[in-house]
Structure 1
């Protein structure tokens, strides 16, 4: 086999509850992931070495050296297999970069699935999930897809049932927000307020809304403990969120660590209209309609 292509989705966090800062520098999370129909494609071609190239939107913002998570994923897979392998990875970007939608994690998951197939390793899904967990907190969910709750750092996943399809609009912002910076700002704001940080707990009403497919209820229970920090670093995002609400979004939230804003719509038609309104009024420079849940990294 000379090349393999994998399609891998973006995610939105419908609940992101962040616990106190741990001694190891991480936070315990309750993180409800939801995979949506904005996809990167990762192509792996036969080669003597592991390299990466990036095409498509935001390609100039993605590193092509050892800082690229897809390269690290391929190398980790080769190490796990105990042999030296090569692959030229080509990432076709559609997921915003540093946008709070797990674009880098998606590419890592895509590289794991593509190289596992290209190299004929035949490793089971459980092995890929173990490698993914060592690469980053969001990488296992990019493999799994669907809807799931992540605990620990977010890498300990349990699948959640959904009762239907949810429709979304995503408004990327110019320039990214590095996840470590947003967590640091969250810690700073909490220290400044001197309030006790509660232990994160799963919102059972949100879970019920997901399981019954009730978009109106889900919109009212969307939550993100990192949102205040993202807004402190990028105050203009508040204007975008307000505009989405004014145009009928059932819920408006910063996606993950931001700066992409996510809006829950009533149906596909409403999502298209909402995206058009956000761009027509200048509340967002671009907006993408999508739906979820969708599968994780899948051979194309």
Structure 2
């Protein structure tokens, strides 16, 4: 695959790369148990307690050595059947692949080392929280949060920082194309920073996108994502040359270029109802008031973007 513009992939971990949740496996088997975990999850859903507060209780319920927990995890976890091939595709095409997670970095790293091998795993940057393991019996695991927020990890900030660093590294000033892959509504803070959004089919993120008319690509496995990225990269490179005029990119390619420009609003944000923008994207909702976002009209022309009817 040939593309001059840098493509960067960000992906959630639990439920996206792996079908199961690493934390849930640990809590159910060694910690608070599935019943209490479901009660705590409901407290987050109801808004009674913050994600960070509940997570500290869940992780604090673990008092086992990490090795014991990993023995169970590696047996219980199921990796997406096409993820290894997709990661190899990214490696072969110089596409940085990053994990953005609300989980614990040492846990995720150990899982990737096991399923991918240490060499391939080492090329994946993991942006997640850290952890302090118990020094003696009876003490629980203690998360070390990446950010001082109610979520513990501001995924949107992490993507913003990566985009800025990648832009600065491009000598020609080209703005990178940001791809985000996820499965749940909790991925929206990071997804809002992306130019291209992939949502695992049949899970909560896709349901949210359908309900609120957010443009996205559905996927069943990472093979679907690879196919679309190849198509997007090809469209971004195809151009027709006029007499002495700058190259003109086709509408689909222009859509991604405009959506990733510093002044434009990502297409899937533009298609979100105003009241939802105020909740999920408050910092740009006011900016968009009365302004027609670039790329919105072009997005409607693309048959590959899923924007379900109401």
Q: Same fold (TM over 0.5)?
A: no
Query: TM (normalized to structure 1)?
Result: 0.29
Greater RCO structure (CA 8 Å; 6+ sep): 1
Q: Higher helix proportion, which one?
A: 2
TM-score, with structure 2 as normaliser: 0.28
Structure with greater proportional strand content? 1
* Rg comparison, structure with higher value: 2
